[in-house]
């Protein structure tokens, strides 16, 4: 299956100059969605993992079925003001703007083995902020998985040294 057929390029969204990768056609197609999740979960099947952490919002769409497929619990990293309990906050830069991310302080215990998931690696700022949150809580990041990597933006440089898997490279 060519997953690329299910990724739609939207020029100048949400800002001029950004080529937005719309994954909704892939999510809508039951075969493409299931195959993509299976292919993303496969490398982690035999790895020791305690939790899958997904980044709001598209990281939830990819991360929760991966957690289900791998038989692991799921921990959300959320946009500001969404989490109800004691939390840690990190600032980060986006390809189009800046924001904050939060995690519950009691979500991760020291030494927990974490698989971090998001839909897309662009500049890597979002991922790096999430890495910092997880590590501040003592989590041990054993892998970072993305559906799609934008190669020109060199996001990998921000998260050097981690085990990174990307299903598609554009």
Host H or E run for residue 97: strand 97-104
Residue number, 49 or 147, with CB nearest to ligand AMP: 147
CA nearest neighbour of 50 among 137, 132, 128 = 137
Q: Is 95 assigned a catalytic role? A: yes
Segment 15-44, which members bind ligand AMP (CB under 6 A)?
Answer: 18-21
CA nearest neighbour of 28 among 13, 54, 56, 6 = 6
Binding mask 42-71 for ligand AMP (x = CB under 6 A): -------------x--x-------------
Catalytic residue, chosen from 58, 78, 102, 149, is 58
Catalytic residue, chosen from 56, 95, 102, 149, is 95
28/86 Cα distance (integer angstroms) = 35
93/32 Cα distance (integer angstroms) = 31
Q: Does 78 bind ligand AMP (CB under 6 A)?
A: no
- For residue 123, report the phi and psi dihedrals to the nearest 5 degrees: -80, -15
Residue number, 120 or 137, with CB nearest to ligand AMP: 120
Site residues, ligand AMP (CB under 6 A):
18-21, 55, 58, 94-95, 118-127, 155
């Amino acid at each position: 299956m060519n997953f690329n057929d299910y990724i739609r390029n939207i020029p100048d969204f949400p800002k001029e100059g950004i080529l937005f990768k719309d994954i909704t056609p892939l999510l809508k197609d039951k075969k493409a969605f299931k195959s993509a999740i299976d292919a993303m979960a496969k490398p982690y099947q035999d790895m020791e993992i305690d939790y899958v952490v997904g980044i709001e919002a598209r990281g939830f769409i990819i991360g929760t079925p991966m957690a289900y497929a791998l038989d692991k619990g799921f921990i959300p990293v959320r946009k500001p003001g969404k989490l109800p309990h004691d939390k840690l906050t990190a600032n980060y830069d986006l390809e189009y703007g800046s924001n904050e991310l939060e995690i519950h302080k009691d979500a991760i215990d020291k030494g927990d083995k974490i698989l971090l998931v998001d839909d897309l690696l662009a500049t890597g700022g979002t991922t790096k902020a999430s890495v910092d949150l997880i590590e501040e809580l003592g989590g041990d990041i054993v892998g970072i998985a993305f559906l799609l990597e934008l190669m020109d933006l060199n996001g990998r440089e921000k998260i050097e040294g981690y085990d990174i898997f990307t299903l598609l490279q554009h």
